[in-house]
C-alpha cells in the first residue's frame, strides 16, 4: 500500500442513510459524532452533508418499500471507493420488522454490504468498532 | 460572557472522551449482549421461542433430538427469553463486541442439541423433562422424580396413577 | 531581463501558492483541534486537513448530467488560483514586500471578491436546488459584508494617505511602513471603529459560524458544494484555506504589522496568525450559533457599516 493510500486512509468521511429506520440507530450514530464522550473525529472521520463527499456509508433501517428506490438512487450517487456499514440488526436481517408487508427484505439483497454492526441499537462503542473495521477495509480498496 | 468562562473551564478540564477504540472501555453490569445457550439445562418448554421479539429462536426436530438455534443477527436484545426461561438455559452475556464482516453473517449462531432418550416404559423416543411437583397430587421423593423423568407422557400418566396421584 | 519571472517564486512558493496553502491548512487543523478541546473532545490530529486533501485527490469527480460542465469544473479552479495568487499581494512586515507589479490594495479587494462569486457560480452551475439556495444566500451575504469591508479599507487607506501628503494611499506596503514607523493602528483610538467593523466582517468572509450560512451543512446540505466530489472539492478546500490566510494577513497588515525583521519576523507573523485564528475563528465558532440569512443581512447593514462609516468620518475629520 503506497504512502498516498496510507495518508488518504486517515480521513474517511461518514454519511448516514436512513432506509426506513425507527431512528434508534440514528440517535446512536448522532452520539458517536456529536457528543464529547464518543468522539468519532479522533479517527479522522467527519460527518458530511452530501453523498458526493462520502467514503463510508452508514445505513440504518430495514429497506421499506416506500424508500427503496430513493435509497438505491442515493447509493449510486456516492463515488467509489466506498465501504458500506449496516448499523443495527434491521438492515442485516430485518429485526422485528421481518415479516411485514412493507419491508423489502434485508439490505444485502439490493446493496453490497461490507460490515455488520449488531445491536438494537448498537452501543456507540460498537459503532466505533464497526467504523474502525470499515476503515481497514477501505484502506484495501483505495 | 458566561460561555467564555465555560469554554475556559472546558479547556482546563481536558477531554472527557471514552478511550475506545484506542483504550479500554467500561461495560455496564447487566448489559444484554450476545445470547448464550446451554442445552444441558434446557427442558424444551419452548417458552423462549414463543416470546422472542425478533424471531431469532428456532426449534427443529432432528433425528438425533431437538435442536435450538439462535441467530444473533435478529436478536433485539430484549431479554424476554432470559426472563421466561425457567432454568436459565438461555441468557444474555455482556459481550457487545458483535461486529462482523458480511461474509460471516450466517455464522453468528448459537446452537444446542438435546438428544432423544428412549422411554424406560415403552421405548419411544422422547426428550426427558422434569415433572412439575405441584401437579402430581402427592409429595414425590427424589427417586420418584428421576423415574418419572425418563417416562414418555403416556407412560408417565400410568405411573402417576400407580403412585396414587392424579395425572 | 529576469523581470517578470522574479515574481514566480513569490506567487508559487512564498507567500503565495504553497506557503498559503500549507499555512492555511495548518491553521485549520489547529482550529479544529482547539475547538474540540473547548468542547471537551479529543479532536482530529493537527495534520487532518492535509490528509483530507490527499484523500480528496484520490476520489473521482462526478459531474451531474444537468450541470454546465465547463463552469462546474472551471469555477473551483479559478477560485483556488485567485486565492493562492492573492496571498502574494499581502506584505508580511519585515519579511516580504510584494512587488508593485503584482498589484495593490484595490487588486486585492477584487481578488477577495472572487471566492464568493465562485461559490455562487458553482452553486448555480451544479443544477441542484440546494445549489440555487446556496447561490442566493451567498449573494445576499456578499452584498452585506462587502460594504463594511470597502469602507474600512478606505478609512485605513485615507489615514495613511493623509500622513503621506496625498489623499489616499492604496499601497499595502506604504500602510505597513507607516504603521511600523508611527505605531500600529491597533493602538490608535481613531481607528478603533474600523477595527471593530473588520472584526465583525471577518467571520463572514472566512465562512465560519455565525455567518457560514451559504455553506451550512445542516441547513442547505452544504449548498453550492453539494454536487462536488474528488479533486474539484479539493480545490474548494484549497480556496477556503488560502482565503483564510489572505484575510488574516490583510487584517494584520491593516492594523498590527509591527514586529522584528527577518526570520524572527516570520515567527512573530505566524504566531499572530495563530492567535488571531484561535480568538477570531475558534472561540467564535464554538460559542455562538448560526444566524439566519435575513438576520445576518440586517446585522451587517446596521452595526459594522455604521462603525465603518463613523471611522471614515473620524479619519477625515481628525486628518
Q: Residue A61's pLDDT band (boundaries 50, 70, 90)? A: very high
How many domains, chain A? 1
Residue C152 has phi, psi (to 5 degrees) of -60, -45
Q: What are the chain B neighbours of A108 within 8 Å (beta carbons)?
A: 102, 105
Cα–Cα–Cα angle for C87, C90, C93, rounded to 5 degrees? 130
- Only one residue has cell 452551475, namely C125
Q: What are the chain A neighbours of C50 within 8 Å (beta carbons)?
A: 7
How many domains, chain B? 2
Q: Give the CATH number, domain containing residue A56.
A: 3.40.50.12280
- 8 Å CB contact between C109 and C150: yes
Contact A41 C42 (CB under 8 A): yes
Residue B109 located in a structural domain: yes
Digitized pLDDT (tens) for each residue of chain B, 167 residues in all: 788 888 888 888 888 888 888 888 888 998 999 999 998 888 888 999 999 998 999 999 998 889 999 999 999 999 999 999 988 899 999 999 999 999 999 988 999 999 888 888 888 888 888 887 777 878 888 888 888 888 888 888 888 888 877 64
Instruction: Give per-residue burial for A69-97: e unless 16+ CB within 10 Å, then b.
Output: eebeebbeebbeebbbbbbbbbbbbbbbb
Residue B149, H or E segment: helix B142-149
Those chains having 3 or more beta-carbon pairs within 8 angstroms of chain B are: A, C
Contact C287 B13 (CB under 8 A): no
A133 CA: distance to closest CA in chain B (Å): 8
pLDDT score recorded for residue C220: 62
CB within 8 Å of chain B, chain A residues 37-76 = 37-39, 42-43
A97 CA: distance to closest CA in chain C (Å): 30
Does pLDDT of C3 surpass 70? no
d(CA B97, CA B31): 12
Question: Is residue B74 domain-shared with residue B121, that is, in the same domain?
Answer: no
Q: Give the CATH number, domain containing residue B50.
A: 3.30.70.3270
Query: pLDDT tens digits, residue range C104-131?
Result: 888 899 999 999 899 889 888 888 888 8
Calculate mean pLDDT across residues C17-24.
90
Domain residue spans of chain C: 3-317
Calculate mean pLDDT across residues A72-88.
91
Q: What are the start-end ranges of the H helices in C188-292?
A: 192-206, 217-220, 231-255, 262-277, 283-287
Best of B15, B18, B19, B20 to disrupt the C interface by mutation (most C CBs within 10 Å)?
Answer: B15
Best of C38, C40, C41 to disrupt the B interface by mutation (most B CBs within 10 Å)?
Answer: C40
DSSP, res C92: B
pLDDT score recorded for residue C319: 64
Does pLDDT of A75 surpass 90? yes
Question: Is residue B91 domain-shared with residue B145, that is, in the same domain?
Answer: no
For B3, which residue in chain C has the nearest alpha carbon? C287
Calculate mean pLDDT across residues A51-74.
92
Does pLDDT of C148 surpass 60? yes
Question: Is residue B105 domain-shared with residue B54, that is, in the same domain?
Answer: yes
Give the domain extent around B125: 116-167
Query: pLDDT tens digits, residue range C257-311?
Result: 888 888 888 899 999 999 988 988 888 888 888 888 888 888 888 888 888 888 8
Calculate mean pLDDT across residues A44-73.
91
Calculate mean pLDDT across residues C247-260.
87
Of B3, B4, B16, which is closest to C40 when you measure between CB atoms?
B16
Calculate mean pLDDT across residues A116-137.
92
Strand A56-60's sheet: what is its strand order? A46-47, A13-18, A56-60, A83-87, A115-117, B100-101
Give the domain extent around A90: 3-141
Does pLDDT of C314 surpass 90? no
Question: Is residue B151 domain-shared with residue B128, that is, in the same domain?
Answer: yes
Does pLDDT of A134 surpass 90? yes
Contact C40 A36 (CB under 8 A): yes
Question: Is residue B167 domain-shared with residue B109, that is, in the same domain?
Answer: no
Query: Which sign does the torsion angle of CA C24, C28, C31, C37 carry?
Result: negative
Residue B50 located in a structural domain: yes
Q: What are the chain A neighbours of C221 within 8 Å (beta carbons)?
A: 49-50
pLDDT score recorded for residue C219: 62
- Only one residue has cell 478541546, namely C37
Amino acid at each position: 500500500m503506497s504512502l498516498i493510500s496510507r495518508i488518504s486512509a486517515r480521513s474517511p468521511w461518514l454519511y448516514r442513510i436512513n432506509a426506513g429506520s425507527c431512528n434508534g440507530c440514528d440517535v446512536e450514530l448522532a452520539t458517536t459524532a456529536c457528543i464529547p464522550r464518543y468522539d468519532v473525529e479522533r479517527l479522522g472521520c467527519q460527518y458530511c452533508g452530501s453523498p458526493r463527499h462520502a467514503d463510508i456509508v452508514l445505513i440504518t433501517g430495514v429497506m421499506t418499500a416506500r424508500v427503496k428506490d430513493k435509497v438505491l438512487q442515493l447509493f449510486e450517487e456516492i463515488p467509489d471507493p466506498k465501504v458500506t456499514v449496516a448499523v443495527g440488526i434491521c438492515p442485516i436481517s430485518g429485526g422485528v420488522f421481518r415479516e411485514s408487508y412493507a419491508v423489502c427484505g434485508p439490505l444485502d439483497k439490493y446493496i453490497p454490504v461490507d460490515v455488520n454492526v449488531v445491536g438494537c441499537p448498537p452501543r456507540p462503542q460498537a459503532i466505533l468498532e464497526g467504523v474502525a473495521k470499515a476503515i481497514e477495509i477501505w484502506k484495501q480498496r483505495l | 460572557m458566561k460561555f467564555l468562562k465555560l469554554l475556559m473551564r472546558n479547556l482546563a478540564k481536558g477531554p472527557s472522551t471514552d478511550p475506545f477504540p484506542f483504550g479500554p472501555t467500561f461495560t455496564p453490569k447487566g448489559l444484554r449482549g450476545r445470547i448464550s445457550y446451554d442445552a444441558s439445562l434446557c427442558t424444551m418448554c419452548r417458552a423462549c421461542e414463543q416470546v422472542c421479539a425478533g424471531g431469532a429462536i428456532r426449534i427443529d426436530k432432528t433425528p438425533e433430538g431437538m435442536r435450538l438455534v439462535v441467530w444473533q443477527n435478529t436478536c433485539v436484545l430484549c431479554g424476554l427469553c432470559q426472563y421466561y426461561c425457567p432454568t436459565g438455559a438461555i441468557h444474555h452475556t455482556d459481550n457487545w463486541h458483535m461486529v462482523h464482516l458480511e461474509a460471516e453473517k450466517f455464522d453468528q449462531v448459537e446452537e444446542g442439541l438435546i438428544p432423544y432418550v428412549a422411554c424406560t416404559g415403552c421405548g419411544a423416543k422422547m426428550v426427558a423433562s422434569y415433572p412439575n411437583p405441584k401437579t402430581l397430587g402427592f409429595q414425590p421423593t427424589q427417586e420418584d422424580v428421576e423415574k418419572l423423568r425418563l417416562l414418555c407422557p403416556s407412560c408417565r400418566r400410568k405411573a402417576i396413577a400407580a403412585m396414587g396421584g392424579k395425572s | 531581463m529576469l523581470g517578470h519571472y522574479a515574481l514566480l517564486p513569490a506567487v508559487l512558493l512564498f507567500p503565495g501558492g504553497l506557503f498559503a496553502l500549507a499555512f492555511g491548512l495548518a491553521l485549520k487543523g489547529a482550529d479544529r483541534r482547539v475547538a474540540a478541546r473547548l468542547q471537551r473532545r479529543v479532536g482530529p490530529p493537527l495534520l487532518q486537513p492535509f490528509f483530507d486533501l490527499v484523500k480528496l485527490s484520490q476520489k473521482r469527480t462526478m459531474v451531474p448530467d444537468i450541470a454546465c460542465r465547463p463552469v462546474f469544473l472551471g469555477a473551483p479552479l479559478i477560485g483556488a488560483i485567485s486565492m493562492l495568487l492573492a496571498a502574494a499581494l499581502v506584505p508580511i512586515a519585515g519579511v516580504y514586500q510584494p512587488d508593485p507589479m503584482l498589484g495593490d490594495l484595490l487588486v486585492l479587494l477584487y481578488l477577495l471578491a472572487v471566492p464568493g462569486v465562485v461559490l455562487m457560480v458553482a452553486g448555480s452551475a451544479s443544477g441542484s436546488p440546494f445549489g440555487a439556495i446556496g447561490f442566493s444566500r451567498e449573494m445576499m451575504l456578499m452584498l452585506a459584508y462587502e460594504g463594511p469591508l470597502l469602507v474600512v479599507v478606505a478609512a485605513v487607506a485615507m489615514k495613511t494617505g493623509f500622513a503621506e501628503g496625498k489623499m489616499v494611499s492604496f499601497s499595502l506596503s506604504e500602510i505597513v511602513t507607516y504603521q511600523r514607523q508611527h505605531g500600529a493602528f491597533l493602538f490608535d483610538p481613531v481607528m478603533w471603529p474600523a477595527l471593530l467593523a473588520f472584526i465583525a466582517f471577518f467571520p463572514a468572509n472566512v465562512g465560519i459560524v455565525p455567518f457560514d450560512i451559504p455553506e451550512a451543512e445542516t441547513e442547505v446540505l452544504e449548498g453550492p458544494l453539494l454536487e462536488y466530489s474528488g479533486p474539484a472539492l479539493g480545490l474548494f478546500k484549497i480556496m477556503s484555506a488560502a482565503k483564510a490566510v489572505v484575510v488574516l494577513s490583510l487584517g494584520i497588515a491593516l492594523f498590527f504589522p509591527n514586529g522584528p525583521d527577518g526570520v524572527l519576523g516570520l515567527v512573530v507573523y505566524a504566531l499572530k496568525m495563530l492567535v488571531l485564528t484561535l480568538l477570531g475563528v475558534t472561540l467564535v465558532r464554538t460559542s455562538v450559533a448560526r444566524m439566519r440569512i435575513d438576520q445576518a443581512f440586517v446585522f451587517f447593514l446596521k452595526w459594522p457599516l455604521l462603525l465603518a462609516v463613523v471611522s471614515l468620518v473620524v479619519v477625515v475629520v481628525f486628518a
